[in-house]
Chain A
């Protein structure tokens, strides 16, 4: 990248789904990704959406425009991954910002990884902020459990998947949302997508998957033997107990696997028949 070339940030925007009413909306994590992009100085922001525009999702897509971008590039009617890859390549982006997981569809959280693999770029997950952009590299803050943060330096280009702990997206304003453009993109190599692959993917959505509201998972019971309020507070705020753990280094894959199985048996995750 030449010295005077601005950073080009492709932001991947999907249609979200409200957790209570299932109405289409801007996806929370994607909106946070766009927020991070908008806060970068001297960066060109290229918002991308793969999918088809219809009356059900237009308002949701437009609410990204309401955050202050003038257009969203729409890559229509394609396999998501291939569309994204083409879109990113043609936009000549050197950073891809996206949410970690979609709010609709499979929501497997794999898209950032698969896209990074296709592009051949490194991926950073759990991004909370971009501290600095240099020529060819970026200094990032990554979220770790319990509010810890890790500073990372990654060479560009890279895919950065935003953590739900990243800054909340700004309010979407109605006026700019209505005026912004959703511009369909003609991508040169979309035709290269094999029909079979697309069919396979859409089949996955329409036939094999059943959607139902997620159930809350039971929490593991923590037995706290605290006598004072201070102890109870400390117990509640403490990190999960890592005392029984073991660090294995330099062991063979088989030994490592056996250790893991042993632990799973101890924790009754596996039973003796070896079934989950």
Chain B
């Protein structure tokens, strides 16, 4: 009897899944067009899934093994079940294969269930607690109905009580796995996730690549809105990306703003975008909320404003302004979802269309427009810090080997010390370098992260024009934000440069024997990775190599390298200054203190400022250049 209804059940569930899939695709297609290649993307899908995605998933060995067993088992079982039970192919081999697949899935499901016994805080509950049971139902159900096909057990098992139980299991399993996949159940992640990988907006990230520069707005394109006001103003593949989220909460666990008690949780943000694209309220969300924001008060739809002009929308603006754009969430996300792009897209709307950049935002933007630096200093005083250094200026010398990009730190007395140290090192290594002097402007980093793409592009284009007048081989800067923008974001406007962070460049000088160090006698040192150097540009080694070469053993923090915790200074967060329960730099200083180090080496003026803002007693904050400059022994004059 079961044999007769099995094909009906399987094809019924499949049909429903197809209907659901079409409905879901139509929701994604509410988004704006995106020029991702469709066929190439689909062709690249298996590799992206098996290699790139698993590279991230494998950071959690438990879940990656579990996922291989469960997911692999399920895909095989589903196909085989369609053949064996749906099409009733009477093949021993297929039946045995199906038994193997369901067994693998069963074992995986047991491990999923185990993780769910006392799930970590970051995991979502709700329907996700049901998933392991559904996986078990599916695997057990299909295992048992397949047994008679292999001839291992007589068809006696077809007795009607058993048949009834089996059908319940199978209906449950099929319901979750086929129907739920496209109708919004936990299994949606498989359907949306696969397509998301195929049509990812940053295909460069696959095959070990890196793509972190923000995408420009095209102001001459009248069709393109200035940022995202409604979910339908995301591109369709962004919407698809949101739908791929598995609510694993790895992003939440890494987010500095969430940990500081600011009203942001990257997982909830992505789930809110899902609510927005499908329409509804966040009441059904079963994970950690935004700190201080109860569930069930916000709602939205594809064509409704995300940040309501009046009353409650899908999000509150302060959620967006809490983000430091540290990319810890993106780095950690196994589905390779792009949180920061989405946040900046929505910020763009608030700044460019509504003029609602909070706190000091408006002032900083006005300063950038009027004085080319965020604090409103006289641009003609950018070189004052180096009055006694007689630095060659490009407007005089016209050509140089290395252009030293000073950054806005040139106005800041603290950072001037780092700059002086850097100059000392460059001179010791006899590097031919020059500066732009007062012709240099802010790189546009902060304006862009605050959503002011117009001011960013204006600064970028003017800087590019200035740079085009001179000839130099490379740019060196001690500011990772300028570094990132010059290296990765100016190319969209025609500025292509070889750019080095000073740690990389100094390390290179060392490797080529241009620098000699005295034995290190100072205190113990730990190293804080700046987000815009590490996660944005993948430079984790040079600063460590350099310190090691200077005889310094770096004591690593628990969160270092690609998991480094942000200092709280990126993305204009100190400007928008959204209150939380604690401050991000205080938390980072705690991390630093735990190593017992007396000195924390940094490579970013922003990190220096944030970490030095932590009250004493605390380890000393020194830029890498300062530490190295102190270790220099001038080469023999005779040489």
Chain A contact residues, CB within 8 Å of chain B: 18, 20-21, 23, 25, 66-68, 170-176, 178
Contact = CB atoms under 8 A, between A and B. Distances in A.
Given A171-B365, A174-B226, A20 B355 contact: no
Contact of B452 (A20, A21, A174, A178): A174
A25 B365 CA distance: 13
Given A171-B365, A174-B452, A20 B378 contact: yes
A228 B362 CA distance: 41
Interface of B: 219, 226, 351-357, 361-362, 365-366, 369-371, 376-379, 452, 454
A66 B354 CA distance: 9
B352 A25 contact: no
Contacts of A174: 226, 351-353, 452, 454
Contacts of B371: 18, 20-21
A227 to B, nearest CB: 33
B370 A23 contact: yes
A18 to B, nearest CB: 4
Contacts of B356: 171, 173
8 contacts: A20-B371, A21-B370, A25-B366, A171-B355, A171-B356, A171-B357, A174-B452, A175-B353
A170 B369 CA distance: 16
Contacts of B376: 20
B370 A171 contact: no
A176 B378 CA distance: 29
Given A20-B378, A21-B379, A174-B452, A67 B370 contact: no
Given A21-B370, A173-B356, 16 more contacts: A18-B371, A20-B376, A21-B378, A21-B379, A23-B369, A25-B366, A66-B355, A171-B356, A173-B351, A173-B352, A173-B353, A173-B354, A174-B351, A174-B352, A174-B452, A176-B353
A172 B355 contact: yes
Contact of B352 (A23, A68, A170, A175): A175
A172 B351 CA distance: 9
A175 B371 CA distance: 21
Contacts, number: 47
A118 B353 CA distance: 39
A66 B353 CA distance: 8
Nearest to A20: B378
A119 B211 CA distance: 63
Contact of B370 (A20, A170, A178): A20
A162 B324 CA distance: 38
Given A23-B370, A171-B362, A67 B355 contact: yes
A173 B356 CA distance: 8
A18 B352 contact: no
Q: Which 3 A-B pairs have CB atoms at the shortest separation, nearest pair first?
A: A173-B355, A171-B355, A171-B362
Contacts of A170: 355, 362
Contacts of B366: 25
Nearest to B452: A174
A130 B356 CA distance: 24
Given A171-B362, A171-B365, A174-B452, A18 B355 contact: no
Contacts of B370: 18, 20-21, 23, 25
A263 B353 CA distance: 57
Nearest to A18: B370
Contacts of A67: 355
B218 to A, nearest CB: 13
Contacts of B377: 20
A175 B226 contact: yes
Nearest to B227: A175
Nearest to A170: B355
Contacts of B369: 23, 25
Nearest to B353: A175
A60 to B, nearest CB: 10
A178 to B, nearest CB: 8
Contacts of B361: 171
A107 B376 CA distance: 23
A32 to B, nearest CB: 14
Nearest to B356: A171
B601 to A, nearest CB: 35
A170 B366 CA distance: 11
A21 B373 CA distance: 11
Contacts of A176: 353, 355
A178 B353 CA distance: 10
A74 B369 CA distance: 24
B512 to A, nearest CB: 42
A119 B386 CA distance: 56
Nearest to A24: B370
Contacts of A21: 370-371, 378-379
Nearest to B351: A173
Nearest to B357: A171
A173 B378 CA distance: 24
A185 to B, nearest CB: 26
Contacts of A171: 355-357, 361-362, 365
Contacts of A178: 219
Contacts of A18: 370-371
A178 B217 CA distance: 15
Nearest to B349: A175
Nearest to A176: B353
Nearest to A23: B370
Nearest to B354: A173
A172 B352 CA distance: 8
B440 to A, nearest CB: 15
A18 B362 CA distance: 15
Nearest to A16: B370
Nearest to B455: A174
Contacts of A66: 355
A140 to B, nearest CB: 27
B257 to A, nearest CB: 23
Contacts of B379: 20-21
A173 B361 CA distance: 12
